[in-house]
Structure 1
Amino acid sequence: MAEQPFSLLQNLARTEEPTSERTDGKLSFVSAMQAMGIGSVFDIVRRSKPAFIRELFQHSDANGDLAYENARCYATQIVRLYRNQLVSSGRTQTLTQRTGVRSLVEIGPSFPNLFKENWDLFCKVGAIEAKDSPAAYLTALYRFAMEELEGSSAESNRIHLDVRRPDLKDLLIDQQTTYTPLPTLEIVNTVLSKAINEYVSTVEGLKGKTIYQLVAEKQHPFQFPYNFHHQQISLGLAGKKPTLGELSYRISLEVPATSPGTNTYGAVQSGSNWAQVMMSNTGPEQQAIVLDPALPDADEPLITQFFKNKYGSLYVSGAGNPLNSLKIFNEKTGLPGNAVEALLATGIDAPYPSPNVQAAGAASNPDDHTVTAADSAKYGACYVNGPSATAAMELGLDAQQKPQLLNTSVDRFDRMQRMIRLQRWLGIPFAHLDTLIMAIIRSEGEANAGHVLTENTLRALGVYRYLSQRYSIEPEEFAGFFYQLSAYGNKGRLSMFDRVFNNPVLFDTPLVLDGKQVWLMSGDSQSNKTLTQICAALGLELTRESLWPILIDTRDAYAGADQPFLRTLSMMSSMYRQTRIAMMFALPAPASRALIDLLGGESYRTQVVEGTLRNTASETPNEAPSPDILDIIMQLDWAVSWLNETGRDVWTLRRQLALDPSEPSVPEALLDQLEQLAKEAREAVLTKEQLGSLNLPINDDDGTVIDWWGTVLAPLIEAHGLVKALPLTLDGNVAADLDTLLITQLEPVTLEPATKEAARTRLGEFLFKGYVIQHRLMEGLLQSSAGLPLDRCETVMRWAGISADVFLGQAIDAATDASLSLPLADNSQELINALMTVHRYAEVNQQLGLSAQALRTFLVNPKWLHASLAVPLPLSLTSIYVLDRYRNWRDNCGQPEAALLGYFILANNGGTTGQCDAQLASLTRWSTTELANARKQLGGIAKAMHQVDWLKRMQDTSALTALSTEQLLAATELTSASTVDEWKKLGDAVMGASR
């Protein structure tokens, strides 16, 4: 700059010595301009005057105010001189040209004609170089930040823009970058990632790790760990989509109806345990923190590492733990002071016992020391204090009168960090979360004497999260599903026991748990009062049908069948558990009990009464664990949804399955009808006399007398003369089936072929006529008494295990011995029972809308419904469910029923994989590729209806989530042991499906 012979910069300030370095350490004005990066007066006026003066003062003692004013003057003159010397372009402006008639007349003098502006020197509207464009605004903003804000003072603690956003100075401004939207989060991630990568490259133990690995492994601050791919999956499956874990239940290979009493519901690639864990919405690193084993007391290096990793704190053995300071503890955990009170159940969060639960009525705690422990060790802070005889933690003051945590230990700090993290992840208040966790721990019993968090904890939290979103249940209510209701309250709230049983108080006297006996039938006033209070609190009726089954189940489980019911917290909590589960599913308590019994019998009812959890730690990989209450609740959720979807109720279903024996009412009209049926049946039987009219050969070719009635027809006609039932076949051709049997029977008879053929024809017609007549009688009876269509009578009877010849024979015997009238004789009662059985099967058939051919097909081949079914096809929960899914498929596939049955024939009779896939894809309106990918999970062709049903559920779930079948199966395979690549692959797939 000093080499220039003439420069305006030299004239801006007073005349100085030509040397660039002054004796006082200051630079000359021109050298200062060079140091400041200024090359013209325009560089000066772009800056604000104060900023220019301040920066110039750091380099030179020249008059900055005078220099700035002179620069502004020169810049103004240059701009004016430039504009005055501009010449027009000479081009005619398009906008001034006229067209049409107007073009014949000269415009005359105008500004565009006289002063032809050179518009090429101006910016077009919207150009990024225009001074009102976004680029100009951002440039001005950047210059303002750099010169005005950062140059306003020389404070050393300022974080400059070049440090905050080092990428700004390198950004390219063009048409694309200016108008392309860029999410702020992407910018933040880019800037932070660059800085983090630079730091990681300098740390030996972190080199080569990605940012996603770093944030997933980091455990402090408590916002970490952060699993990016798990977060992708959680966000992508939010809203109305099924979450991770819930997917396993939607596409479970078996449902409770097809595997009653087992734990297979929810298992696809992994067991149902993992489905429940995944529903907790915790990532693998979070699960690892929850399930980490407790710290050994003597391992000092491990303890030091624990505090560094979990709390970011330096722990020195023998020295005071800095985390005992409430201020430091709050800083390290991110908790405010009042939250620490909630964590420790002290101060305003201190609990208080219910006055209505006396010592005799409260069940003994598993730990003897808690009988005399502080209330906070019984409610609100049970888990963080642990099963220790040491006094409960609380807040106090140190020697300097500063707040600190008292009675702490390494184990308690470990418990607190787990508790704080769980509270952050789940959003449940500390007191409620502690109640829920301790209910789970105590439900495990002696298997968890150390009161540690186990897989059951995550399972229960997953099921709670699912139920709370679906049915709006509170944590303390859910805790009652595993253990006793809490007898403690805090912050002005009633205890959970009082909220259930004493809100409001009946008879002006609360229900007090004193451990005394309650009699069902004694009639004493105190027992009656207690029973009435229980009914009012739990929504029961004081009847044998409503209260008695629940109360007796509870008494048998906790006291014994020969013992009375007691007013104890354990028994009251059990009754609450049974009724609250029913209420959650919008079922009356007796109906809920009946449904539980339908799904798993007495063992299921006992599980619900006691609320116990199995010991998952003792399970082996090849062992099929027995269902516990969590599994039963999920199965109940499925069963209630299915019943509501199909318009069924549990009582009708149990009656159809003959699970609740009852004495059928028999109207006189029905008895008269059966009397008439017996009369007509006697007239329709085949006799020897009728056979004799057929003119059959008396002797065979050897001269031996042929016993047509006693030998040839004996296997085909029963004692009354009724044609016996034929073996069921797919085509159901009676004449052909009779002919086949006759060929076998006539095989030993030596007659000329023509003679034998004629005899076979006559016998066939003889039998066919009798067969048709007796079936017409049964069709008339069932049509009038059960509303059963004629074409379905035979198949429904055969399904019920009864045939026309057997029933008509019973009717003949009953009418012969005595008239069919009330009271019924034994054989008459058997006849009525047989008819009622057929009515049950007919009702199911009508409800399912099964055609005669469909029912015949599945009677002949029960395994085409489910692999566990065999001949004869039973009327069971499994068969009803699978037949219902067949009905649903038939009604919604848009194809004739013959096509559906034809598929099963093809699949079970040598059809190739390609043929079966193509036909099933057409029937399900699904792509062949997707169907084939899903079918691989079955291990072969889908040969049974329950396999087709699984494929249809896969199809529905794929449509709901926009995930392919391979991605859905991958989602059900994820566990905490899955690799990062497996999580990443599914996370990317879910994000892609959400766009």
Structure 2
Amino acid sequence: MTDQPFSLLRNLAKSEPSSAERTDGKLTFVDALQEMGITSVFDIVRRAKPAFVRELARLSDANGALAYENARCYATQIVRLYRNQLVSSGRTQTITRRTGVRSLVDIGPSFPNLFKENWDLFCKVGAIEAKDSPAAYLTSLYRFALEELENSTPETNRIRLDDRRPDLKDLLIDQQNTFTPVPTLQIVNQVLTKAIDAYVDTVEGDKDKTIYQLVAEKKHPFLFPYNFHHQQITLGLGGKKPRLGELSYRVSLEVPATTAGTSAYGALQHNSAIAQVMMSGFSPEQQAIVLAPALPLEPPPAKTVDDVQDDQEDLLTITRFFKTHYGVSYIQGAANALDSLKVFIEKTGLNSNEVEAVLAVHNHAPYGSPNVLSAGHNAIEPQASAVKYGACYVNGPSDQQPLGLSRDDKGNARLINTSVDRFDRLQRMIRLQRWMDIPFSELDTLIMAVIRSEGAENTAAILTQNVLRALGTYRYLRSRYTLEPEEFAAFLHGLSAYANDGHLPMFDKVFNNPSLFDTPLVLNGSRFYLNSTDSNNNRTLAQICAGLQLPLTQDDLWPIAMDTRELIGAAPQDLIRNSSMISSMYRQTRIASVFGLAAKDSRALVDLLGGESYRKKVVTGKLRAAADDTNVEPDILDILMQLDWAVTWLKDTGRDVATLRRQLGIDSTQAAIPQSLIDQLNQLATETRDAALTAAKLDLLNLPAKDNAGTAIDWSGNVLKTLIDASGLVMAQALSLLDDQTLVIAAALEAKLKPINLEESEKAEVTTRLLEFILKGYFVQHRLMEGLLQTNAGLPLDRSETVMRWAGSSADTFLGPLLSATADAPLSLPLSAPGLAVIDALMTLVRYAEANQQLGLSAQALRTFLVYPQWLHATLKTPLELSLTSFYLLDRYRDWRDSGGHPETALLGYLSRANGLETARASELAQLCANLLAALSGWSASEVLTASAFLTAHGGIAISMHEVDWINRMHSTNALTGLAANQILNATNLTSDSEPELWKNVGIAVMAANR
């Protein structure tokens, strides 16, 4: 090296030999400075003194402290000299006072004249090169971290800044990256991705995989697997938006009202079981871990060559499992590393208290209820242990002693009674607890309730799709209602007789807390009866009612108890104080309270949705077999989701279960018949007789007795028998869209007169007389019926005809039996059988009239759907009955009409066009109908066309109210989530088997909808 650059640096320390390296292995002072990258005294003073002294001592014997102080002195002098050169401009200032014109020129003392400033050394306030700019602050922090923090102490295990943020040293500081905000998460992802990519390049099998693939496939530590696109969807559909699975229910093509008694609700592109699984919130990789096949048993010593090969495959599977799921090596015959509590905690991320909780030992050991005796149990034993409560699943059905904790000879804590299968169960349980955020004991109770509900279909106690279905359904219900895990577990199996952590067992919490009687309710297997005078029996009933919060009446307790007695088994049984029967009664009443219903209303609603079959499923709580993909029979989980829909619909429309069942004719009311109604019917019968078109009145028309051929004409017989019945009542004609009955009757009369051989003029005269005759009778009869319905049901006059037709009746159909019932004497109480039949017919008309009033249907709308019931739903046929399906779809029509504000002719006109009553080319019909429906629904035509294309059965056209309602629900889901129609359909098509590209597309769409 030359002497010039280091002429000043040489003076910082005493003179030394000039050789670069001395015999003692140390460098000279100047060479040490060069090794340290120091070229001036300013490089020295930029460093912290301790760091400089320490680093210099490593290279040289020179006095570092003296050198640092000398460098600081030199630096101070240099700075002062530099500043002195800038202080004065060197111009001699005039001190004489100027006068006259010279005084007007500013050449006296001023800042520019006194100081020779270099303006290149200055910058604007806030500029990136300013001493107080963010860049300067960042540079200062960076230098401080490198020189003072990292070099402060000689620790070898320190993680340096270059390891934490290797990108900083290459970071270009410019205007854009200085003042552009960057999310911290983005920086973290970039740094980690770069480091991971560098590592992955060294692993042969992972070289071509993306970072998202790697974190999705990784299973250890337990915070993995992480599916980025699933997380996008979960966050994007958070808050009040419907989540995955729930979307399928919102846009389900069928609802419980349209397909009662089936599991079609929730099925769109997949069955409803998939929707329930997706509601769990688990990614495909998480589902795969939960549902992965159980590990093979640890192979014993092989006896044959084939056994050796099979054992090697099993051993390879076990070894791979422990490496991927726990991050430990498995060696056959050697102690499992996970038996050490320290290793187990390290690999699972649990703390010691959580380990005790998952094993249900020590502070979390279970205890049983003193009020559940052995005779009161059904499928479980009364002795409390970890295999009965808290850790049933992780211990499995093995005869081995339950998992526990112990200490070895050296005092190290270890897990005992472990096995390969139990470690597999433990990792599944730990992951599920973290994903669901439910305490271990409550989660175990819920899981075991599912397994026990499956019964003989799952004797191995493995996790099946039903577990995911139950977790998904519970997570959905918990987000909408107040529901605890053990309460939900009782929906599937029974009330737990055990507890831990100082809690009461679920049975005692329901029936014996607080204790309202001198003795608690004890499950001892004894019988009890609904009708008994025994004091102990009555106390049992009172205790049950207190726990279930039911009045002790025949309207409240009796239906629940009788359903339990009749439906809990294959044959009726006596009521017994055991776990299954008491749990069944609790299940029925708690389901009711979850949905805000009285127990009798909940039972009535369940019966409305699926009849006795549904009531039996609620009584037993049994789940269908998970392995049977062809079994679409609904179970308790499907019923819960259908109840949620029904309660929501009833609440939104302001209806109640009892009124709905009465309107549908399922339940009848036995009200007393007032005398005023009897008098009204007698008066109606009198007026009807006066208005009847009798043969005597017909003779007054002076109709020709014979035709031109001399053949006698039987006017009251062959000619008018299809128009006027034997009682003289005008018979109802086939219903059509034509509202003018004059034209309908005229057409029917013309058809009957056409074969009669009369002169045209004479036939025209006869036609006129008969038409006036028949119409007069028709209008009088209908005025009588209109008055009757208006008086008893408040029905507007113009709707009487269509309501009577809807009820399967008409003026002649009702008035005929009335005339027969009053032929011998007026009606009087008590009524005879014919009189009761008239009252029943009137009550049916009133019921239909009330339904029409509540639905707010116009005469034209009801007439249209009576003529074309398939315009409501493809399964409905003529005549249209008042059923849950028709009532619901008519209600949807009313909602469509009222919410859109469009004239009714436009709505009915769309259905007419969609069903082809108005001609249009098939190629243009779909687009035309989409345009019409878009205008009526407030959605864009392109979105309506996309959604309608899903309805492939009708060429992509919504042809019924059922399908129009689906389009409207798609529209409301679009407004709620911001997703387009095709994106909603893609989201409902997601399953654990879907391609990653589909998950990615939906994730991007959900994120875009949130911007």
Q: How high is the TM-score relative to the length of structure 1?
A: 0.95
Partner of 1:505: 515
CA distance in 2, matches of 1:838, 1:65: 110
Q: Does 1:203 align with 2:203?
A: yes
1:374–1:391 Cα contact (<8 Å) kept: no
1:846 is matched by which residue type in structure 2?
Q
| Shift in Å, 1:364 | 3.3
CA distance in 1, matches of 2:290, 2:844: 55
| Shift in Å, 1:158 | 1.9
Q: Does 1:181 align with 2:175?
A: no
Q: Which moved more, 1:754-763 or 1:845-854?
A: 754-763
Partner of 1:242: 242
Q: 1:918 aligns with which of 926, 931, 950?
A: 931
Q: Does 1:944 align with 2:960?
A: yes
Partner of 1:93: none
Partner of 1:312: 327
Q: 1:930 aligns with which of 943, 946, 954?
A: 943
Q: Does 1:47 align with 2:47?
A: yes
CA distance in 2, matches of 1:89, 1:731: 109
Q: Does 1:774 align with 2:781?
A: yes
Partner of 1:957: 973
Q: Does 1:788 align with 2:792?
A: no
Q: Which moved more, 1:748-757 or 1:559-568?
A: 559-568
Q: Which moved more, 1:276-285 or 1:685-694?
A: 685-694
Partner of 1:301: 316
Partner of 1:846: 853
| Shift in Å, 1:108 | 7.9
Partner of 2:311: none
CA distance in 2, matches of 1:908, 1:466: 38
| Shift in Å, 1:29 | 3.4
CA distance in 2, matches of 1:787, 1:860: 25
Q: Does 1:231 align with 2:231?
A: yes
Any idea what SS the aligned residue of 1:618 has?
coil
Partner of 2:276: 276
Partner of 2:424: 414
1:865–1:879 Cα contact (<8 Å) kept: yes
2:970 is matched by which residue type in structure 1?
M
Matched ranges for 1:540-551 at <5 A: 540-551=550-561
2:393–2:425 Cα contact (<8 Å) kept: yes
Any idea what SS the aligned residue of 1:608 has?
helix
1:376 is matched by which residue type in structure 2?
A
Partner of 1:975: 991
Q: Does 1:797 align with 2:797?
A: no
Matched ranges for 1:248-267 at <5 A: 248-267=248-267
Q: 2:638 aligns with which of 631, 638, 644?
A: 631
Q: 2:900 aligns with which of 890, 893, 901?
A: 893
Partner of 1:427: 437
Any idea what SS the aligned residue of 2:415 has?
strand
Q: Which moved more, 1:233-242 or 1:106-115?
A: 106-115
| Shift in Å, 1:110 | 5.3
- CA deviation vs aligned residue, 1:780-831 (integer Å, no higher than 9, x gap): 1111111000011111011001101111112211221321111011111111
| Shift in Å, 1:681 | 0.7
| Shift in Å, 1:5 | 7.2
Any idea what SS the aligned residue of 2:684 has?
helix
CA distance in 1, matches of 2:543, 2:942: 61
Q: 2:888 aligns with which of 856, 864, 881?
A: 881
2:895 is matched by which residue type in structure 1?
N
Partner of 1:98: none
Q: 2:347 aligns with which of 332, 349, 362?
A: 332
Cα distance change, pair 559–947 in 1 and its aligned pair in 2 (3 A) = closer
CA distance in 1, matches of 2:44, 2:559: 94
CA distance in 2, matches of 1:449, 1:6: 86
- CA deviation vs aligned residue, 1:728-784 (integer Å, no higher than 9, x gap): 111212111112112211221123333333332332222222211111111111111
- CA deviation vs aligned residue, 1:631-655 (integer Å, no higher than 9, x gap): 0010001001111111111001111
Partner of 1:659: 666
CA distance in 1, matches of 2:354, 2:31: 61
CA distance in 1, matches of 2:886, 2:105: 97
Matched ranges for 1:252-651 at <5 A: 252-297=252-297, 298=299, 299-365=314-380, 375-558=385-568, 563-620=573-630, 625-651=632-658
Q: Which moved more, 1:698-707 or 1:177-186?
A: 698-707
Cα distance change, pair 536–108 in 1 and its aligned pair in 2 (3 A) = farther
1:425 is matched by which residue type in structure 2?
W
| Shift in Å, 1:3 | 6.2
1:945 is matched by which residue type in structure 2?
M
2:334 is matched by which residue type in structure 1?
A
CA distance in 2, matches of 1:107, 1:525: 121
Any idea what SS the aligned residue of 1:816 has?
coil
CA distance in 1, matches of 2:104, 2:853: 92
| Shift in Å, 1:303 | 1.3
Structure 2 spans left out of the alignment, 5+ residues: 91-102, 300-313
- CA deviation vs aligned residue, 1:692-750 (integer Å, no higher than 9, x gap): 34344443232323322222212111111111112111121211111211221122112
CA distance in 2, matches of 1:847, 1:106: 97
2:165 is matched by which residue type in structure 1?
R
Cα distance change, pair 559–916 in 1 and its aligned pair in 2 (3 A) = closer
2:279–2:476 Cα contact (<8 Å) kept: yes
1:820–1:828 Cα contact (<8 Å) kept: yes
- CA deviation vs aligned residue, 1:34-55 (integer Å, no higher than 9, x gap): 3222233322222222222222
Matched ranges for 1:701-780 at <5 A: 701-780=708-787
2:6–2:39 Cα contact (<8 Å) kept: no
CA distance in 1, matches of 2:133, 2:640: 62
Cα distance change, pair 900–517 in 1 and its aligned pair in 2 (3 A) = same
2:565–2:572 Cα contact (<8 Å) kept: no
Any idea what SS the aligned residue of 2:414 has?
strand
Q: Does 1:814 align with 2:829?
A: no
1:927 is matched by which residue type in structure 2?
S
- CA deviation vs aligned residue, 1:174-221 (integer Å, no higher than 9, x gap): 111111111111111111111111111111121111111111111111
CA distance in 2, matches of 1:692, 1:74: 142
2:938 is matched by which residue type in structure 1?
R
Report the number of matched residues. Answer: 975
1:943 is matched by which residue type in structure 2?
I
Q: Does 1:991 align with 2:1007?
A: yes
CA distance in 1, matches of 2:104, 2:254: 90
Any idea what SS the aligned residue of 1:937 has?
coil
| Shift in Å, 1:495 | 0.9
CA distance in 2, matches of 1:976, 1:559: 37
CA distance in 2, matches of 1:39, 1:955: 72
Q: How high is the TM-score relative to the length of structure 2?
A: 0.94
CA distance in 1, matches of 2:35, 2:946: 70
Cα distance change, pair 485–687 in 1 and its aligned pair in 2 (3 A) = same
Structure 1 spans left out of the alignment, 5+ residues: 91-102
CA distance in 1, matches of 2:693, 2:814: 16
CA distance in 2, matches of 1:866, 1:104: 101
Any idea what SS the aligned residue of 1:399 has?
coil
1:221–1:332 Cα contact (<8 Å) kept: yes
Any idea what SS the aligned residue of 2:374 has?
coil
2:263–2:272 Cα contact (<8 Å) kept: yes
Any idea what SS the aligned residue of 1:947 has?
helix
| Shift in Å, 1:222 | 1.1
Partner of 1:76: 76
Q: Which moved more, 1:752-761 or 1:722-731?
A: 752-761
CA distance in 1, matches of 2:317, 2:749: 87
1:381–1:431 Cα contact (<8 Å) kept: yes
CA distance in 2, matches of 1:434, 1:870: 50
2:943–2:980 Cα contact (<8 Å) kept: yes
Matched ranges for 1:126-137 at <5 A: 126-137=126-137
Any idea what SS the aligned residue of 1:405 has?
strand
Partner of 1:194: 194
CA distance in 2, matches of 1:947, 1:923: 14
Any idea what SS the aligned residue of 2:367 has?
strand
Any idea what SS the aligned residue of 1:978 has?
coil
